[in-house]
Structure 1
């Protein structure tokens, strides 16, 4: 398989750091992930702005969010087969950290940050667009599906029903690998669905999606 990390690093240690989780020791990829997060948002926002000249701010924002959310970045990491290249500590290796969405998504962003530091913004932009081109092409032009929480609220409001509520059931895992268990509840009709994810927001979205799916079946 051709290496999906198309950039040839002048400083290979930057790539090594980008693939090293904090559980494996320092220097790890958290600072690179911070930088890469901002860069991928910028490059994807610019690409959407150029591709969709008539889209309003809300549409552009939703489209960007759908492309750069944790689950999307993790899926990209799986396509790029990054999991096997990650350097993890013994605990994370034992618990399957190379398959965890949060760790995979962070690695994608860290690599993007590393490329920027190694060769500048244009090299970073070129690689990001190469990774995201297919996803950009799959989006309906000028349209972006609203997130599950928004769609659930609109479904209920359209029928003059009370808004849903979200409840944190429990938080498990170590500090660097938190898992949030969330319940989404509606009173009319009375429903509850639970979901878990590596961020509170992602867990709420998944729970809302499950409630909405149940409502739409009825």
Structure 2
């Protein structure tokens, strides 16, 4: 079994049941022993509650709508991926050889699901208090400026609204190029408004590249 001491130190929690921790770190592709999907299910529910509670007390003046947006950002694939990366969670995962070759340790979905499973395991062994403490520490580490709402910002929608307001026209996206093998393609997109290029970006999918383009264009339009 892998030595999990560094991981346990990073979350300041030491499992009594190492098999429970092992299960939390076992992706379904591994095919040996129980995988982490059930713990992921539990962790998802627990984190939804814990993050909601932390935000409730952290932002006493925020409206229900703003709190919901911030929680949606934190308890998203992107949000949990960032927390997982902060503790190098991908290093400890048990995945198949094919996932290993496909950069599975860095995949947002695998990382975020593993983080949910890990917190589900902590909850099963020790209850809400330890999950609450760990999540609070990690949120302070990853988001020192408490900029949670930006996680849930849909740049494509936002840049469309700005474009309509300023130019009475919605942006268009064009695929410039795609490269790499089928299992690891990279797409390059540009964003145009009235035929003028406002952004160019690459991503692991067309949607990812479009979102990155939209973010670049959004910042430009906001300045204007």
TM class by shorter-chain length? Answer: 0.7 to 0.9
* Structure 1 segments unaligned to the other structure (5+ residues): none
In structure 2, relative to structure 1, the CA distance for the partners of 1:28 and 1:184 (3 Å cut) is: farther
RMSD: 3.6
Please give the residue correspondences for 1:146-165 in structure 2 after superposition, counting only pairs within 5 Å.
146-164=153-171
Q: What is aligned with 2:58?
A: 51
Q: What per-residue deviation string (whole Å, max 9, x for no partner) do you get for residues 113-145 of structure 1? A: 1111222222222222222233454126xx834
How far apart in 2 are the matches of 1:63 and 1:199?
Answer: 26
Q: What per-residue deviation string (whole Å, max 9, x for no partner) do you get for residues 190-209 of structure 1? A: 55856545896x66533422
TM, length-normalised to structure 1: 0.75
TM, length-normalised to structure 2: 0.73
Q: What is aligned with 1:212?
A: 218
In structure 2, relative to structure 1, the CA distance for the partners of 1:63 and 1:199 (3 Å cut) is: farther
Q: What is aligned with 1:42?
A: 49
2:17 is aligned, of 11, 31, 38, to: 11
Q: What per-residue deviation string (whole Å, max 9, x for no partner) do you get for residues 15-45 of structure 1? A: 1011111110141112222222222222112
* Structure 2 segments unaligned to the other structure (5+ residues): 1-5
2:127 is aligned, of 97, 105, 120, to: 120
Contact 1:179/1:199 (<8 A) preserved: no
Which structure would you say has the larger Rg? 2
Aligned residues: 211
How far apart in 2 are the matches of 1:114 and 1:75?
Answer: 19
In structure 2, relative to structure 1, the CA distance for the partners of 1:217 and 1:51 (3 Å cut) is: closer
How far apart in 1 are the matches of 2:121 and 2:115?
Answer: 10
